[in-house]
Amino acid sequence: MLRPLCILRHEPATDTHTRIECLIRPVSGSGSDWVFLCAICLDGELPERVSVQGPFPCSLSARFILEQVVDGLLGQGMRIDEGISRWSAHLLQQSTPQPAAPAPVREPLFWYA
């Protein structure tokens, strides 16, 4: 399994840390499609948002997006955190297709005799 990339930013005014975890992974049931997932929240809390982008036709395309996002975040003063991922389950749950709800059964408006 691929390991998420963790990025932190310290907010000195409030003495808080913003945590972002990014991950690329293959789409379940797809031959070659990949997705990019990103979760963000204050460090020590559960993610407020999980964003999913894709599908991308191959892992190289998804990795390119990941690298562009990380470069942008590092340019804004964030740093890579070498610690363990805390939200892997949330990210993986977001990328797993959920079964579609069955269509409601509708009664006909009138009957033919």
For residue 91, the model assigns a pLDDT of 57
For residue 46, the model assigns a pLDDT of 82
Asked if residue 109 belongs to a domain, the reply is: no
Averaged pLDDT in 10-residue chunks for the chain of 113 residues: 79 88 83 86 81 89 91 90 65 51 51 47
Which structural domain range is residue 58 located in? 5-95
For residue 113, the model assigns a pLDDT of 45
The domain total for the chain is 1
Asked if residue 110 belongs to a domain, the reply is: no
For residue 86, the model assigns a pLDDT of 59
Question: What residues contact residue 100 under an 8 Å CB cut-off, 6+ apart?
Answer: none
Asked if residue 104 belongs to a domain, the reply is: no
Asked if residue 73 belongs to a domain, the reply is: yes
CA dist., res. 98 & res. 8, Å (int): 30
For residue 5, the model assigns a pLDDT of 85
Asked if residue 107 belongs to a domain, the reply is: no
Asked if residue 75 belongs to a domain, the reply is: yes
Q: Which two tokens stand for residue 85?
A: 């991922």
